[in-house]
């Protein structure tokens, strides 16, 4: 691909879209052109970028002409409607929705884990789910040293996973409850402020919701390890931004805790955060706005001699979405 790249952001006005803008700027991505696309409702707005105000235009049939890379963050239905058009125009689509993740012809990529998969694309590369990305960043370095047999994940997912409106709703709900008023609910089915509930996606016949099955199926695909046993419980919690996860890993033989800490401390895109005396470990407030996935509280599973426990926090909008997409784009341009 050319050294100067023509990029379009589809869904530019959303939480991930605006983060993509910031990352393209801060990482000095080699842009020849940047086009901002959104629905007709957002057309006419402008967004700041590198000292300019760039116009937002409504996506249409000719939107992808002469575009090299499309960073899509507008939801699955929008991606299904426009991805093929973009590919027909000669662009590579890096899609942040769930529309193409489990398509066997579409690579599902976390650059620190399986960058080689990006070279097999046929016009579309899928960005994994946020919880999957964050977990993969912590588990993959250990899996490379000693293959993981089983993963049990419990997630604590912030309002940011549902976008700007959900974050604002959480603030409004908190104030309403403090005022003795009934909190409004629009982004979520139940009040999230001062509350938590299992992830509000559809539940299958086995009792697992879509978010939980994303962690199961996407991790196996990214690791190219269909044999790994995985179970997940995903929960919405009243945190504005950055997801947390408690991970239990089972190996075929004991994995020394000191060795695991050393591996995590040297893994790309991961930061070891542990102060055992102060009982200080990764927190969403520390992960917010950070590129790294914070990992800590690595310990022996006292119920299983070949088990490890760990805790992580990561910014869902950055590494869980926008940053991972930009890193894939950087793979394509050879950065």
29 and 42 in a single domain? The answer is yes
The pLDDT of residue 80 is 92
Cα 14–chain centre separation: 15
Q: How far apart are CA 121 and CA 96, in angstroms?
A: 15
Residues 166 and 260 in one domain: yes
Question: Does residue 74 share a domain with residue 39?
Answer: yes
Looking at the structure, tell me whether residues 35 and 148 fall in a common domain: no
Helix axes 323-333 and 15-26, enclosed angle (nearest 10): 50
Q: Write down the pLDDT at residue 1.
A: 61
For residue 59, the SS3 value is coil
pLDDT of 192: 97
On whether both 162 and 297 belong to a single domain, the answer is: yes
| Residue 142 and residue 71 in one domain | no
In angstroms, rounded to a whole number, what is the distance separating the alpha carbons of residues 84 and 250?
Answer: 41
Please check whether residues 156 and 116 belong to one and the same domain.
no
Active site residues: 130, 243
Q: Are residues 122 and 138 in the same domain?
A: no
Residues 6+ apart with CB under 8 A from 41: none
Q: Please give the residue range of the domain that contains residue 103.
A: 5-128+321-333
Residues 305 and 183 in one domain: yes
* pLDDT of the residue at 2: 62
> Domain containing 160 — which CATH number?
3.30.360.10
pLDDT of residue 44: 86
Whether 186 and 279 map to the same domain: the answer is: yes
Q: Listing from the earlier edge strand, what are the strands of the sheet with 92-95?
A: 46-49, 52-58, 31-38, 5-10, 69-72, 92-95, 124-126
| C-alpha span between 138 and 265 (Å, rounded) | 10
pLDDT (tens digit, 9 = 90+) per residue, 108-157? 999 999 999 999 999 999 999 999 999 999 999 999 999 999 999 999 99
**pLDDT given for residue 241 in this prediction:** 95
What is the pLDDT, as a whole number, of residue 179?
A: 98
Residues 183, 152, single domain; the answer is yes
Are residues 62 and 180 both part of a single domain? no
* CA distances from residue 234 to 167, 243, 260, 271 in whole angstroms, order as listed: 18, 10, 25, 23
CATH code: domain of residue 104: 3.40.50.720
Q: What is the pLDDT along the chain (335 residues), one digit of tens a residue?
A: 667 999 999 999 999 999 999 999 999 999 999 999 998 888 889 999 999 999 999 999 999 999 999 999 988 889 999 999 999 999 999 999 999 999 999 999 999 999 999 999 999 999 999 999 999 999 999 999 999 999 999 999 999 999 899 999 999 999 999 999 999 999 999 999 999 999 999 999 999 999 999 999 999 999 999 999 999 999 999 999 999 999 999 999 999 999 999 999 999 999 999 999 999 999 999 999 999 999 999 999 999 999 999 999 999 999 999 999 999 999 999 87
CA atoms within 13 A on the CB side of 269: 21
What are the residues whose beta carbons fall under 8 Å from the beta carbon of 6, sequence distance 6 or more? 31, 32, 33, 34, 35, 66, 67, 68, 69
Q: How many independent structural domains does the chain possess?
A: 2
How buried is residue 124: exposed, middle or buried, by Cβ count under 10 Å (0-12/13-18/19+)? Answer: buried
């Amino acid at each position: 691909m050319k050294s100067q790249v023509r990029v379009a952001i589809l869904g530019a006005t959303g939480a991930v879209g605006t983060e993509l803008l910031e990352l393209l700027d801060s990482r000095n991505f080699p842009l020849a052109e940047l086009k901002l696309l959104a629905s007709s409702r957002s057309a006419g707005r402008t967004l700041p970028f590198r000292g300019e105000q760039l116009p937002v235009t409504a996506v249409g049939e000719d939107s992808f002409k002469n575009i090299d890379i499309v960073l899509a963050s507008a939801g699955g239905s929008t991606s299904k409607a426009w991805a093929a058009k973009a590919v027909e125009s000669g662009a590579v689509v890096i899609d942040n929705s769930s529309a193409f993740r489990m398509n066997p012809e579409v690579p599902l990529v976390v650059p620190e884990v399986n960058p080689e998969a990006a070279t097999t694309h046929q016009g579309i590369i899928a960005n994994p789910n946020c919880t999957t990305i964050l977990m993969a960043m912590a588990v993959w370095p250990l899996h490379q040293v000693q293959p993981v047999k089983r993963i049990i994940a419990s997630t604590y997912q912030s309002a940011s996973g549902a976008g700007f409106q959900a974050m604002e709703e959480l603030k409004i709900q908190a104030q309403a409850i403090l005022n003795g008023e009934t909190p409004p609910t629009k982004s979520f089915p139940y009040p999230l402020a001062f509350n938590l509930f299992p992830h509000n996606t559809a539940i299958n016949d086995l009792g697992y919701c879509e978010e939980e099955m994303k962690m199961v199926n996407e991790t196996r695909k990214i690791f190219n390890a269909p044999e790994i046993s995985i179970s997940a419980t995903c929960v919405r919690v009243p945190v504005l931004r950055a997801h947390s996860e408690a991970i239990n890993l089972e190996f075929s033989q004991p994995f020394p805790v000191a060795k695991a800490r050393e591996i995590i401390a040297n893994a790309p895109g991961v930061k070891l955060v542990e102060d055992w005396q102060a009982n200080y470990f990764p927190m969403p407030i520390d992960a917010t706005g950070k590129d790294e996935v914070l990992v800590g509280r690595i310990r022996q599973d006292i119920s299983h001699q070949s088990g490890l426990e760990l805790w992580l926090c990561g910014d869902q909008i950055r590494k869980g979405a926008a940053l991972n997409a930009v890193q894939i784009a950087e793979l394509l341009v050879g950065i």
